[in-house]
Amino acid sequence: MSQALTPKGELAVRAAAPRESGPGELTVALYPYVPDPQLFQDKVSQAWAALGTGYALSFQTYDPYSGPPAPTIDVFAFDCSFSGSLVGEYAVSPLRPDEVDSPEDLYRFARDAATGPDGHFVGIPYLGCCSTLYYRDGDQPLGKPELSLDALFAVLGAAPYPEKEIPAPGQGLIVELRGSTTDACMYQQAWEQLNGGCVPEPPLPAADRLDTRALDALRKLVKMAGVAQAAFRDPGSQRVKWFEAGLGRAMVGFTEWLPSMSPGLRKTVELRALPLGPGRPTPCYADAIGIRPGLEGEDRAAAVRLANLVASSDLLQSAVSSQYLVPARVSALRNLAQRDPVYARIQRMLDAADPCGFRLGPGGRLWIREVGPKIVSGLLGISMVTPPVSALSAEAPDAFESTPAGIWRRGF
């Protein structure tokens, strides 16, 4: 018998799933949407081999946004936005607080995002992320300590040529808003910022009952960008190239976009958390490592040890330093900031953001499926195809096959 979390975050006993990995083997799926997933995998493999556990690692890719992992994946990464959905799908095994190494070193927003209502961890946080506003060095109006969405709109104004995909030189906001997951999450983050911060189980209203103020926040982004540019499907890093060429005044992305910039721009570009309301607190994403139900004895102990290794400060510093990912550990980001000025700017951004842990609660995956396409259609006037309900109960597809373009970014 094994334990899993119920939709209310309580422990449930269930029959152990059959083990399909080989003897002395763990099947692993790391978070795929990073600039260099192979580098991260190699760092994990090397550190694991040095421990001499006797367990081999077999790596697979898994798209955590599409559905629960296959039952053959023992250790897997997921976005904590969907931790409630994983719990409802009985796809993750709880971790006691004493099974997590140095929980006090985790950023509070990441710890909160990965903790169930009963105090058990749904997974061990290892990466953090927030929507990032890039702007050029010396742009003082965008560098003010306090910047609300209204203040940002007052600075940027409406895009001068809203019908054009390519932004105007030095004007407007560069942002993509055609992803249903992205738009639904940004709507919810705007709602939370307007209502004082993150909540473990936020309201997930039907499309015809969405909060007007939160929708208006997204409409402001579209106005600053122009509909055509906000709807442009980026094949990879085109928006970064536009910004590098002097187009647009500011750009919305993630810290993962930094490796796609030239060294010159990377050294000078400024960044701050994107305001979607008053500006603070800022809902931030956390990615965690979870354990599947059904693992017992030595297999479970090895899986927990691997999850802690992936989320350890030393491994994170080694794996993320060239990718400009945000480690979920305070010590890791502090050490990176001490030796890399770019990471020092990332640390200042995170500290100033007053981050809180973003999660959608139970039903989040289904809510995005139903509401996300309608938000996109309402904002941009384009039709979005809604996947069938059956797709939500199926195992998630291979991440690289499901998102062949833009694997390096988090926009969906």
The gap between the terminal CA atoms of the chain, to the nearest Å, is 37
What per-residue confidence (pLDDT) applies to 236? 86
- What tens digit of pLDDT does each residue of 36-63 get? 999 999 999 999 999 999 999 999 999 9
3-class secondary-structure state, position 211: coil
Q: Is the pLDDT of residue 398 over 60?
A: no
AA letter at 6: T
- What tens digit of pLDDT does each residue of 245-279 get? 999 999 999 999 999 999 999 999 999 999 999 98
62, 71 Cβ separation under 8 angstroms: no
Query: Would you state the torsion angle of the CA atoms of residues 329, 307, 356, 266, taken in this order, to the nearest 10 degrees?
Result: 50
Q: Is the pLDDT of residue 233 over 70?
A: yes
Q: Is the pLDDT of residue 402 over 50?
A: no
Q: Is the pLDDT of residue 17 over 80?
A: no
Tokens, residue 77? 């990464």
Question: CA-to-CA distance for 45 and 57, rounded, in angstroms?
Answer: 7
Q: Where are the alpha helices (DSSP H) in 226-276?
A: 227-231, 238-244, 263-268
Domains contained in the chain, CATH given = 2-128+286-328 (3.40.190.10), 132-283+360-386 (3.40.190.10)
What per-residue confidence (pLDDT) applies to 280? 87
pLDDT tier at 204, thresholds 50, 70, 90: very high
326, 128 Cβ separation under 8 angstroms: yes
Query: Would you state the torsion angle of the CA atoms of residues 223, 224, 227, 231, taken in this order, to the nearest 10 degrees?
Result: -130
pLDDT tier at 3, thresholds 50, 70, 90: low
- What tens digit of pLDDT does each residue of 296-340 get? 999 999 999 999 999 999 999 999 999 999 999 999 999 999 999
The predicted model gives 276-293 an average pLDDT of 95
Tokens, residue 345? 């700017």
What per-residue confidence (pLDDT) applies to 405? 38
* pTM of the shown model: 0.89
